Amino acid sequence: MLKKQVRNELDSILNDLKVNLSNNYKDLAHDALKRLHATLDAYLEDGTLKEKDYKKYKQIADDYTVRLADYHH
């Protein structure tokens, strides 16, 4: 089971990403996405995040990566 603190941090980053997208803040949305990927990788590496939870959040991050692929100035 995912620790509450870890889930809250990941959900907070996702929320930042969604808010920035809805407000059309492209650079901030890209920054939040990079932060999400980095946080996921760091938590997987140090064992804080289990493979199952990692895959769940990684899929969400990958979906946003595809969505933001053509999202630039």
Residues 10-25 pLDDT 10s:
999 999 999 999 998 9
pLDDT for 44 equals 96
Q: What is the pTM of this model?
A: 0.90
Separation between Cα atoms, residue 29 and residue 17, nearest integer Å: 5
- Residue 19: HSE in the Cβ half-sphere, 13 Å Cα cutoff: 8
